[in-house]
């Protein structure tokens, strides 16, 4: 009986942590928490009506993707948005990792995985992509789910961990605040090429298609003059 109570308490705390994580993430993505802004654990807990524990756990999760930073005796702060060079470096890192993930995932693919991957593309087609995070959140979630599912299909915890630690999607989509997603058509087409290769069970083509997708994202980012930290605008891709 005690184990059941303990298990229920853990589940409840996990749910609270997820809710707090979503709220802080939305504030970071929309710029309500500006770069360098201090994030008080106790203050956020009072504001959200929760204990400090789920706030602390949510911030640790955000720290793992680089959206917040922590310094000894100074606590957590909102990390600066990536500048143009940092965004391109991030895409270079993804180019080293994710084509390999796609190749391995293709080898291990089954019909259930392929159907789920296709569902993410349908979600992308249906999702709004307006200027605020609330507008494009479902698009971001579907996009991230596509890439995460491929990483998880490798059945390699180190590849999944490497994918997670890059935080590629939150950093890129954070830069869409105020503008919305402007490359949805290209991204959906590129995702479809990856899926088509996997349906053919062509692992080499899946690797090539994923590399082509990420190069497309990188090139669209490079064409923009307005990545934060430089003059000329405000969106990355």
pLDDT tens column, 153-167: 999 999 999 998 888
Do the Cβ atoms of 67 and 80 come closer than 8 Å?
A: no
10 & 48 share domain: yes
**pLDDT, mean of residues 74-103:** 92
- Give residue 165's pLDDT: 85
* Last-in-domain residue among 78, 95, 128: 78
pLDDT band at 228 (very low <50, low <70, confident <90, very high): very low
User: Does residue 133 form part of some domain?
Assistant: yes
203 & 98 share domain: yes
101 & 51 share domain: no
* Last-in-domain residue among 26, 52, 78: 78
The DSSP secondary structure of 52-115, one letter per residue, reads HHHHHHHHHHHHHTTSEEEETTTEEEEPPPP-HHHHHHHHHHHHHHHHHHHHHHHHH--HHHHH
pLDDT in tens, 160-191: 999 988 887 788 787 777 777 878 899 999 99
- Give residue 8's pLDDT: 57
- Give residue 81's pLDDT: 85
- Give residue 64's pLDDT: 85
54 & 120 share domain: no
The alpha-carbon radius of gyration of the chain (Å, integer) is 19
Instruction: Check pLDDT > 60 for residue 226.
Output: no
41 & 149 share domain: no
Instruction: Check pLDDT > 80 for residue 13.
Output: no
26 & 93 share domain: no
- Give residue 230's pLDDT: 40
- Give residue 222's pLDDT: 76
Instruction: Check pLDDT > 80 for residue 2.
Output: no
How far is residue 55's CA from residue 58's CA, in Å, rounded to a whole number? 5
Task: Please count the structural domains in the chain.
Answer: 2
Task: Provide the CATH number for the domain around residue 128.
Answer: 1.20.120.530
- Give residue 98's pLDDT: 97
pTM, to two decimals: 0.80
Tell me which of 109 and 179 has the higher pLDDT.
Answer: 109
> 71 has which bridge partners?
75
Do the Cβ atoms of 174 and 29 come closer than 8 Å?
A: yes
Task: Provide the CATH number for the domain around residue 35.
Answer: 1.10.10.10
Instruction: Identify the domain containing residue 28 by its residue range.
Output: 2-78
């Amino acid at each position: 009986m005690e184990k059941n109570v303990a298990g229920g308490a853990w589940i409840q705390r996990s749910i609270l942590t997820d809710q707090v994580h979503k709220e802080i993430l939305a504030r970071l993505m929309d710029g309500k928490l500006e770069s360098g802004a201090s994030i008080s654990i106790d203050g956020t807990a009072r504001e959200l009506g929760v204990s400090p524990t789920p706030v602390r756990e949510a911030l640790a999760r955000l720290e793992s993707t680089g959206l917040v930073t922590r310094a000894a005796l100074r606590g957590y702060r909102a990390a600066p948005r990536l500048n143009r060079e940092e965004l391109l470096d991030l895409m270079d890192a993804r180019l080293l990792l994710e084509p390999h993930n796609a190749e391995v995932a293709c080898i291990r693919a089954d019909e259930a995985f392929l159907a789920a991957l296709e569902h993410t593309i349908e979600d992308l087609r249906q999702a709004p992509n307006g200027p605020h995070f609330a507008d494009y959140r479902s698009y971001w979630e579907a996009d991230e789910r596509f890439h995460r599912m491929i990483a998880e299909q490798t059945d390699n915890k180190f590849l999944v961990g490497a994918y997670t630690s890059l935080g590629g999607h939150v950093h890129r989509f954070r830069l869409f605040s105020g503008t919305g997603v402007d490359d949805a058509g290209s991204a959906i087409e590129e995702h479809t090429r990856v899926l088509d290769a996997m349906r053919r069970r062509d692992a080499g083509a899946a690797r090539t298609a994923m590399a082509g997708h990420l190069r497309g994202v990188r090139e669209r980012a490079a064409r923009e003059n307005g990545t934060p930290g430089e003059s000329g605008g405000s969106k990355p891709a």
